[in-house]
Amino acid sequence: MKNRERPTVLVVEDEFIIALDLSETVRDLGYKVEGPFADKENAFIAIDQHMPDCAILDVKTADGEVYPLADALAEAGVPIIFHSGHIASADIAQRYPHAIACSKPCPPDRLIMMISGALENAAT
C-alpha cells in the first residue's frame, strides 16, 4: 500500500445520498475517505496532491464519464471499483482487467468485501 497510515479510498459519485453512503461505509471500515467528489475535475486535483490506495468510481459523473480519471488511477496501480448503474462488466473487464465492477445498488456487505479485497490485494 502507498500509504503507511490508514488506507485512503477515493470516492467519486455524483448522487449525493449514494456518495454519503459510500463514504460512511469506507469510514466504518476504518479507512480514510478522499472526497466524495461529484466530478472528475476535483478528483484529479485530489489525486495530484495524494494518490489514494483504492478508488470507488461512478461511471457517469457531473462532468462526464470517469474513464480519464480511471486511466490515471490504473496507470498508478490504484485498485478500482466501478460502482455504477451505467456499467457493462464485460467492457470494464476488457478496458480495466484488474478492476472490479458492480451495479448500483450494490449490497453493503458485497461492497465491503470488494473494498477490503482490493486493499488486501494492493498490499501484497
pLDDT in tens, 3-62: 457 899 999 999 999 999 999 999 999 999 999 999 999 999 999 999 999 999 999 999
Does the pLDDT value for residue 88 go beyond 80?
no
According to the model, what pLDDT value does residue 3 have?
Answer: 44
Number of domains in the chain: 1
Domain contains 43: yes
> Is 27 within the bounds of a domain?
yes
Q: Output the pTM of the full model.
A: 0.92
State which residues form the domain around 29. Answer: 8-118
Does 51 map to a domain?
Answer: yes
Which CATH number do you get for residue 102? 3.40.50.2300
Please check whether residue 1 lies inside any domain of the structure: no
- Whether 2 is covered by a domain: the verdict is no
Q: Is 124 a domain residue? A: no
Going by the DSSP 8-state scheme, the letter that residue 101 receives in this structure is: E
| Cα pseudo-dihedral 108, 89, 114, 56, rounded to 10 | -80
pLDDT tens per residue, range 57-83:
999 999 999 999 999 999 999 999 999
Q: Alpha-carbon distance 60 to 79, whole Å?
A: 19
- Ramachandran assignment for 88, one of left (phi > 0), alpha (psi -120 to 50 degrees), beta (any other): beta
